[in-house]
Amino acid sequence: MDTKYLIGVFDEEETMLRAFRKMKEQEIEIEDVFTPYPVHEVLEKQGRKSRITIVGWFYGFFASLAVLAFLYYTAVIDWPLNYGGKPSNAFPSFIVITIVLTIFSITILSLFTFSWRAKLWPSFDKPIYHEAATDDKFVILVKKDRTDADKAASVMKDTGAIEVIEKS
């Protein structure tokens, strides 16, 4: 069965926020909100908290351990070089490359994690609900089978939606 959506399109942030607040007050379940820039009130009240910072911390922790282990293995165990009697385990010489490779690892792994969680890989076809959704309009998306569609449509129209459309 095809999922049907009710889409409310707004010109301004304030009118969209007014509709968003009123829909939350009336316990109308909002599927998603599309905006041209981040609107923090929407992110907070949707209740979806991102754990990418926690994942990034673990990526950094394990990347730095892996880099230090690799550097120790190559410089001390596998191929020790004698530089005038200096110790092979010269930790200060490992610091800069460890920092650089840790930052690089966090960046690349976080990019892949975000792309995987947001389903943004090349072969995945993301639906476009409204052409101006992230261009210059604010869009509220409601699944019709999860809520009272007439109530949601009237709230959107009453609060200043320039367009309320149904789409499957």
- Going residue by residue through the chain, which has 168 residues, state the pLDDT in tens, using 9 for 90 and above: 477 889 999 999 999 999 999 999 998 889 889 999 888 888 888 877 788 999 999 999 999 999 999 999 998 888 887 777 777 777 888 899 999 999 999 999 999 999 988 888 777 777 888 888 778 899 999 998 888 888 888 899 999 889 888 887
Q: Give the three-class secondary structure for 74.
A: helix
What pLDDT was estimated at residue 7?
A: 92
Question: Are residues 5 and 130 in contact, defined by beta-carbon separation less than 8 angstroms?
Answer: no
**DSSP secondary-structure letter at 77?**
I
Give the angle subtended at the CA of 131 by the CAs of 129 and 128, to the nearest 5°. 35
What pLDDT was estimated at residue 146?
A: 82
Strand ranges (DSSP E) for 28-162? 32-34, 138-143
Residues 6+ apart with CB under 8 A from 161: 8, 9, 10, 15, 19
Q: What predicted TM-score, i.e. pTM, was given to this entire model?
A: 0.67
